[in-house]
Amino acid sequence: MTPYDLVLTPTGLRFCGRKFPCTIGRGDLQVDKREGDGATPVGLHQITGLLYRPDRMARPSPWALPIGKDDLWSDASGDAAYNQWVQAPYPHSHENLRRGDPLYDLIMLTDWNWPDAQPGRGSAIFLHQYRRPGFPTEGCIAFRRDHLRWIATRAIPGTRLIVQKS
């Protein structure tokens, strides 16, 4: 491990010499992640993308891509676009990336079950803003807004995310 790895610990996420409080999935940490279990997957992952709402914040990094009004994420495990960024109209199960609340104003994408998604293994493990301290996610890792932005301005594509059971 290096200081430039994102390392999830029982007391928060370590990165660049700092520790950030965060929340994980309601299903805790799991080695055998499944779609809908609410778990955060254990393993070595990588940051693969950075998305942001240009109507709510400035671009956090040169490699960040804007979230448009028709942007969705497929969680339809039987569809060819499973665990992919898709556009509306999309008739299958999905999450809106352009939400009314601020949770997805800034999203760091990981390579969990991507790019060759296996049906049922779970989709979209994001790093995003939390609702409030201690409120669990559906499997993602969530932070206070200013902490997430600090991390996003320093991470690069390929930054490692290490999630281990303690």
Predicted confidence (pLDDT) per residue in 20-57, tens digit: 999 999 999 999 999 999 999 999 999 999 999 999 99
What six digits make up the tokens of 133? 């301290």
Q: Do the bridges between strand 6-9 and strand 160-163 make them parallel or antiparallel, or are there none, so unpaired? A: parallel
Query: What per-residue confidence (pLDDT) applies to 125?
Result: 96
Domains detected in the chain: 6-163 (2.40.440.10)
pTM: 0.96
Cα separation, 122 vs 113, whole angstroms: 7
pLDDT category of residue 80 using cuts at 50, 70 and 90: very high
Cis peptide bond upstream of 115, omega within 30: yes
3-state SS assignment for residue 109: strand
Q: Is the pLDDT of residue 73 over 90?
A: yes
